[in-house]
Amino acid sequence: MAQAHGRARGAVTAFLPERPEGTVVTVGSFDGVHRGHEAVLREIAARARAAGRHSVLVTFDPHPMAVVNPAAAPLLLTTGPERREILAQTGLDYAVLLHFDRALAAMPPEQFVREVLVRGCGMRELVIGHDHGFGRGRQGDVELLGRLGAELGFAVDVVPALEVDGHAVSSTQVRRAVAGGDLSLASRLLGRRYFATGQVVPGDGRGRGLGFPTANLAGIPSRKLLPPDGVYAVRVEWRGGRADGMMNQGGRPTFQQAERSLEVHLLDHAGDLYGEWLKVEWVARLRDVRRFPSLDALRAQLERDRSSARAALAAPATGTLST
């Protein structure tokens, strides 16, 4: 997948190399790149192949709500690098990343279609989700797009809603599942486990002193949505490696530290990971974060946690375990 960056200001020339055969385009924030998003991407890829064209996603950074209504802006399911990682695995030919600002927010949908999609991307077909709207006030609905398509020479197709377990798949539904700690539902809506990426930085060494060395994660943006704090079974990947683990997400009340941290103890792995970027997938919640009366009591609980984590990671499906 090739990526192009741009600002939709003034006269747009082209975001992509000239494509005489044109492109098949979809537009949206695609936060989470969930199964509904993937259905749209599969559709544009199939249509592009059939017509000898290229598939193009036009997306935005930051999230449009962060500009239009910051107070109501949702926490993100995927950071920029995480979204790019997922999109790179979809078979998409191009992703055009537009800087979303007030000028773009105020752009009428007719202008956006003419300048960004047709002139900038060479669009010949537009494929959108069932609830799609863009442009100022989300006025760019299916009816308007149909009229513009007839005028400008592009086809418009709508991908129907995808349902999982009776839920229409949407970023809002995924956020509700993650925020509510329903990891299993979040995984089914996403088509993968929910994850975050962070960089390993030095800690205070307390975990190592207890016999449970941890990789302390930094660099996770404050706008990244996390599930409720607790101790979790996790799966971890990094450049050239992967391991199972358990993670304390939250404060460390036994040490009178209330600030949230993410500390991962890797099972069956020893080695220095300082500076590495880890991808951490939440698999199952083991227990709440709580204060222990002594280090011996904490150590004993960590032993139980390790056994619970192994059991959760060996189970065929995600769930919640109690200790």
Q: CB neighbours of 174 closer than 8 A, spacing ≥ 6?
A: 32, 34, 77, 186, 189, 190, 194
Cβ atoms 288, 230 nearer than 8 A: yes
E-strand ranges in 208-276 read 215-218, 230-238, 241-252, 257-266
Domain range summary for the chain, segments of one domain joined by +? 2-167, 193-314
pTM of the predicted structure, to 2 decimals: 0.89
CATH of 2-167, picked from 3.40.50.140, 3.40.50.620, 3.30.70.141, 3.40.630.30, is: 3.40.50.620
Q: What is the CATH number of domain 193-314?
A: 2.40.30.30
Contact criterion met (CB below 8 Å) for 100 and 71? no
Q: Cα–Cα distance between 157 and 126 in angstroms, integer?
A: 6
| Cα–Cα separations (whole angstroms), residue 70 to 58, 67, 223 | 22, 6, 12
List the chain pLDDT tens, one digit each, 323 residues. 777 666 655 444 467 777 678 999 999 999 999 999 999 999 999 999 999 999 999 999 999 999 999 999 999 999 999 999 999 999 899 999 999 999 999 998 899 999 999 999 999 999 988 766 665 555 667 888 999 999 999 999 998 889 988 878 999 999 999 999 999 999 999 999 999 999 999 887 777 778 889 999 999 999 999 999 999 999 999 998 999 999 999 988 778 777 889 999 999 888 889 999 999 999 999 999 999 999 999 999 999 999 999 999 998 764 444 33
